[in-house]
């Protein structure tokens, strides 16, 4: 008796499963239509959304201004941080925009900015060097701070004279950070399929409801 009941339950489960697939098969047009519409919406979003480019410029700090050396007193982390802050204030080391990047133009702009930064360091060092050399009283020249500032200014001027610039600018790197086309289209298919299945079962439910009302 128990085996017969189990058999009937298994048979009913199979009937329900076949009925489920039958409902989905009869509603295949709805499912295909919602998937197609969802894909069209996803494709339209991809085509209408502008591509966003991120341009990063790798660089290595080579010089530290006299002012930074006075402030940091030999702390390398402090020196690098102050020089990087000066560089970042130029607003050219990371660029984000929707226009196709012109790497040659960006490189020229970076070179020009680097020259300006190096010149500012040189001018500052030259003023410090001339001040100590020509205007300070002799008794102050022997103090540790003045001697250190003098050496820092002299070393900076010597490095710049040999052609070393404030930073070593490397080739810009371009990355596309906008929408992920494959992910959007795959999500459109999934959303469209789930929406279609929902509509199919909703239609089946309405048909059953109307049938019960007629009965």
Q: Around Cβ 192, how many Cβ atoms within 10 Å?
A: 22
Local confidence band at 211 (pLDDT 50, 70, 90 cut-offs) = confident
Check whether 57 has a pLDDT greater than 80. no
Query: Does pTM top 0.95 for this prediction?
Result: no
pLDDT digits 0-9 by tens, 188-207 = 999 999 999 899 888 888 88
172 closest CA partner among 95, 112, 81, 115? 95
Check whether 34 has a pLDDT greater than 90. yes
Average pLDDT over the chain reads: 79
Check whether 167 has a pLDDT greater than 90. no
Residues 155-159: contacts with CB within 8 Å, 24+ apart?
156/63, 156/64, 156/65, 156/66, 156/121, 156/122, 156/125, 157/122, 157/125, 157/126, 157/129, 159/62, 159/63
Local confidence band at 138 (pLDDT 50, 70, 90 cut-offs) = low
C-alpha–C-alpha distance, residues 65 and 71, integer Å: 10
Structure tokens that stand for 30 in this block = 């709805």
Residue 5: what pLDDT? 47
- Determine the average pLDDT of the residues in 110-134: 86
68 closest CA partner among 121, 113, 119, 115? 121
Residue 67: what pLDDT? 85
Lowest mean pLDDT among 57-61, 98-102, 147-151: 98-102
Residue 160: what pLDDT? 92
């Amino acid at each position: 008796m128990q085996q017969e009941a189990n058999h009937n339950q298994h048979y009913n489960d199979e009937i329900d499963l076949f009925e489920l697939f039958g409902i989905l098969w009869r509603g295949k047009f709805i499912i295909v239509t919602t998937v197609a519409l969802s894909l069209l919406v996803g494709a339209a979003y991809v085509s209408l959304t502008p591509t966003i480019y991120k341009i990063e410029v790798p660089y290595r700090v080579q010089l530290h201004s006299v002012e930074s050396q006075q402030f940091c007193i030999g702390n390398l982390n402090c020196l690098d941080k102050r020089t990087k802050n000066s560089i970042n204030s130029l607003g050219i080391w990371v660029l984000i925009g929707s226009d196709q990047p012109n790497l040659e133009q960006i490189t020229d702009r970076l070179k020009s900015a680097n020259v300006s930064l190096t010149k500012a360091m040189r001018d500052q060092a030259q003023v410090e060097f001339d001040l100590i050399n020509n205007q300070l009283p002799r008794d102050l020249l022997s103090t540790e701070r003045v001697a250190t500032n003098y050496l820092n200014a002299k070393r900076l001027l010597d490095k710049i004279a040999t052609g070393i610039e404030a930073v070593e600018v490397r080739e810009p790197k371009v990355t596309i950070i906008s929408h992920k086309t494959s992910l959007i289209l795959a999500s459109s298919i999934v959303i469209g399929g789930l929406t279609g299945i929902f509509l199919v079962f909703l239609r089946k439910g309405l048909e059953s409801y109307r049938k019960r009302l007629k009965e």
